[in-house]
Amino acid sequence: MLTFEQKIAIMAEFPELTRKDVSLGRVNFHYEDSKYEKKTVVHHLHPNGNGFIYAARIPGLETDEKGFINIRSHSDQELRELLRAAIDSLAVRNESEPPPIGKKTKLAGPWINADGQQLVLSHEDNLWYLFDGPNLEMAFETTAEARAYLQEEGFSPA
C-alpha cells in the first residue's frame, strides 16, 4: 500500500489538479476546469492512506452512491491510471449523457440465501454494514469485501 506522501506525490504529477487541505489532515484535489458541477477528483485523502477518487463517469467501475471509489490499496500505476481517467471524464461534456448514478444500489438492500434467511446491507459513513434484523452482523470497508462475504455465505441480492 502506498503511503500518504507517495499518493500526494502522484497526485502532484497532475498539474491540472489543485490541492485543497481540509480538516483532520485530509487533502482534496480539485479539477477546476471540469465541464461538470463536480470538481473534486480526490476526496478526503487521509494521512493513513485512505481516500477516494471520483469515478462515476468512468465506465466499468463500481462506485459508492456519491460516485467515488476507495483508493486505499491501489498501486502507483493503478492510481495514476484512475486519476487520468477521472480527470478525462470531467474534461469533456456529453450533453446527451444522463447524470451519473452510483452503483451502490446493486449492492445495498436485502440479500437472501437458499434457506430464506435475509440479511440487509447498507452504506453509511463510508462503511458497509450488514444487519440480521436489528442486529449488526459485520462491517466492511469496501464493496468488494461485502460482496465477497455475502456470496461466500450463499447470499444473493433479493
Least confident span in 26-30, 35-39, 72-76, 150-154: 150-154
Q: How far apart are CA 153 and CA 4, in angstroms?
A: 35
The pLDDT-based confidence of 146 (bands split at 50, 70, 90) is confident
Determine contact, residues 71/6, Cβ cutoff 8 Å. no
Is the model's pLDDT at 105 over the cut of 60? no
**Cβ within 8 Å of residue 76, ≥6 positions away:** 2, 6, 10
As a whole number, mean pLDDT of residues 104-113 equals: 71
Average pLDDT (87-91) is 93
Task: Tell which wins on pLDDT, 72 or 99.
Answer: 72
**What pLDDT shows up at residue 29?**
97
- Give the length of the chain: 158
124 has pLDDT over 60: yes
| Whether pLDDT at 106 is above 50 | yes
Rounded CA gap, 4 and 81, in Å? 18
The whole-number pLDDT of residue 101 equals: 44
CB atoms within 10 A of CB 141: 14
d(CA 48, CA 38): 25
Query: Per-domain residue ranges for the chain?
Result: 4-91, 107-157
Q: How is residue 72 written as a grid cell?
A: 486505499
CA angle 42/5/63 to nearest 5° reads: 25
Structure confidence at residue 20 (pLDDT): 96
Q: pLDDT tens for residues 23-37?
A: 889 999 999 999 888
Helices and strands in the chain, H and E counts: 3, 10
pLDDT > 50? residue 41: yes
